[in-house]
A and B are shown apart, each in its own frame.
Chain A
Amino acid sequence: MSAGKVLVVDDDPQIRRVMKVTLVGHGYEVIEARTGEEALEKMPAEMPNLVLLDMNMPGMGGLETCRALRGGSDIPVIILSVRNTEKDKVAALDAGADDYVTKPFSIEELLARIRAAMRRSSPESGPHAFSSPQLEIDFETRRVRARGADIRLTPKEFELLRYLVAHAGKPVTHRELLQAVWGPDYGDEPEYLRVFINQVRKKIEPDPAKPRFILTEPWVGYKFVAP
């Protein structure tokens, strides 16, 4: 059985070749696209489990493709880029990517990131539901309602919220949160949390500028409180 279907989007044919051979060797099914436009075309028919998306492509480019993907699905997206500045990472995460890998990378690193992006904690651990007048979360059906409307969270956003709710009332450190949501190889990427917490707040908080559910613990991490 395949470990999952991966859509590799890159304009460089050699990179697509290496990815295909390697990922297939590790049990993944691989489909390729040369441009963002082609990737969006292939999405509905192929239904991949994960997208590896090059940031710098001719045509619509990685960031725009990522936003377009996010508009229609919550599929995990990993952006691959030769740039390694914090600004570029934040831009990629803001566009909806789950993770960001700098080129060149070793295959072990990429495989670890792919596993982290596809992993979901088992529903048995943690709470089954959370309910307050402003916010309702059903962790088994993965449904979230805020102010009476259904909210769509990406898998990483959902995992983040689940972990915080499971530890409600206690501050969770940056490292602990990163490792719980992304995996044991993570811990030094506070910018990931800044972007994701921001996105979750925008979706569930009545006033994201003055959060009531997810509070920042300066220098430590974040804390979920039931108001």
Chain B
Amino acid sequence: MHRIARCVLVGIVAIALWPAPSAGAPQAPAARPISLALLMAAPGRSDLSWSFMHWLGAEQARRTGQVSDLRIVVSTPATALSDMTLVVRDGQFDLIYVASFSTYGTALRDLANRFPDRQYAISDIRPQFGDADPGNRAVLGLLYQQEQPSAMAGALAAALALHYDCPSVGIVLGREIPVLHEFEMGYKWGVDWAIRRLSETNPDVVRNKRLARAARKDRVLWTYTGAFNDPARGREATEAQVRQGACVVYQVAGATGLGVLGYMDDHHRTRNVPIGQPPFAIGVDTVQEWVSPHVVGSALKRADEAVLLAVRLVREGRFREVVQRDRSVWLNFGNRGTWFSDPQLVREWVRRAVEIGALDGSKGGEVLANYGRLREPQPRWVWQLVDDLRGLIEQGRVEIPRPFGDPQRWPIERLRETYG
């Protein structure tokens, strides 16, 4: 009996291990709609923020017929070179979009020099090639100014804290990696800017308020949770900050941040606090207003727009030209590549989520109704302040520290001496 079973199993293994001749090689691309490979860091789009945004852009390009063949590969840094070699080697993709420079940066540098006739785009970094390197003319960098929406998050948080007279505002972050320094400092700068600005334009709302009286370094409670994938830690950190008096908490922590939003939901439910009353949360990367009814705003990095932009350049045959001329494209308030969510955008987002099937229609209506109930009780000057800062940033009339974009000029240590 055993012997027969063993023979059968050995047979199965033998068949399974037999090498398949060039299995499933993707087809050559058609002329107009392009073929796109999207490379993302693990865990891929289930992070509901950064990778999700890239996927959304790619998926939209596919659904609208701009992309005929979309392949998605998710890697860890250890597998990045191997995975990317596989994507690049046979030249079957018109565009290779890299969503994570920390995962693929080294592999991209290596492969772009070896295969400079392919077209690569990468989020979040300026391509680093010498003038003589062949990769120089193959890679387009798509860069984001995340300090801009973060500063608006700080201004909104400070305004709400002044209105409800809370002693502080909070920010919960993931593990301490350099790009998060820019979110952290943008936020702290925004809080400081709001108080200075209101002291001049609307001193009544600042006078005798606890946040304004506090020393500059004590206004923002900030916690690095040490993880991007642990909602429990996000919840814990939020609870601690709310207990210490923060009435707005900005989350910059990936899936850990879902714990921040979850805490807000529970806080309101268990204490019977209606929507529109503090504490509030501020979301990140995507429009997180639809995740919780207590999210007053979201600091967006429109990676979906970045993917669509790169696809457009390839389809119009302008990719090489832009790479040769500029090497990289900045996504910021100017071209709406970064943004702070507003009612129009939230409506647009919900419409798109319903279209794609991420939300059903009735739930979409509920999200919008809750969002209205959230904004309605806040005084008009709060939104006015946020709009003012948006305008100043768009016109380039304020300078926000960029410890990630330009660490030589804005070292994080010195910024913390000033802003806490």
Q: Do A and B come from one complex?
A: no
